[in-house]
């Protein structure tokens, strides 16, 4: 049995009738992931971020370091089952408000690609709301594409960020 490690990005920008606000949803979701053949090794502090796309609601984001014997596709299936349990629907508009978003960002095995999953996540290098939390728990992980660490990627992104609008409070 091979133990795989993953960086999983977490996001929510809607309340849930049972779990409450987005931050509480992320913690409840991590608890559920931990019940599914996964061990949660580290969790970043949560941050608030502006939405991408048409959604108007501020997101609560974080990252978790997860260990499991599940291969990437099997972990994706488990994460999507947790999203569904929390009310996520996959049809309709992309980047809309959602109760829960769980994305595999990186994997200890390097790269992976099939019709439903690409690791590393193709957009993670451009997203401060992913790199910031990931750098708090896995700063020395190396991007298999660029060879840079998560911390280096985060610093590079931070240097290029425009300061035209302040972060949400």
Distance between CA 134 and CA 61 in Å, rounded? 10
- Among 89, 99, 40, which Cα is nearest to 68's? 40
- 140 part of the active site: no
Active site residue 98: yes
Please, what sign has the CA dihedral across residues 16, 22, 23, 25? positive
Task: Tell me which of 15, 50, 57, 88 is the catalytic residue.
Answer: 88
Query: What does the alpha-carbon distance between residue 122 and residue 124 come to, in Å, rounded to a whole number?
Result: 6
Catalytic residue list contains 101: yes
Q: Has 88 been annotated as catalytic?
A: yes
Strands 38-43 and 118-119: unpaired
Catalytic residue numbers?
A: 88, 98, 101, 103
């Amino acid at each position: 049995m091979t133990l795989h490690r993953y960086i999983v990005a977490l996001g929510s920008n809607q309340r849930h009738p049972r779990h409450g606000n987005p931050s509480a949803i992320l913690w409840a979701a991590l608890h559920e992931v931990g019940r599914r053949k996964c061990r949660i090794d580290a969790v970043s502090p949560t941050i608030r971020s502006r939405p991408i796309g048409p959604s108007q609601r501020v997101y609560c984001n974080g990252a978790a370091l997860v260990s499991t014997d599940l291969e990437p596709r099997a972990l994706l299936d488990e994460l999507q089952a947790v999203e569904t349990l929390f009310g996520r629907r996959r049809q309709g508009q992309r980047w809309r408000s959602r109760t829960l978003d769980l994305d595999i960002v990186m994997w200890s095995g390097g790269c992976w690609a099939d019709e439903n999953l690409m690791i590393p996540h193709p957009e993670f290098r451009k997203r401060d709301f992913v790199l910031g939390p990931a750098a708090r728990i896995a700063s020395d992980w190396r991007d298999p594409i660029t060879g840079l660490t998560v911390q280096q990627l985060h610093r590079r992104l931070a240097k290029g960020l425009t300061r035209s609008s302040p972060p949400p409070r």
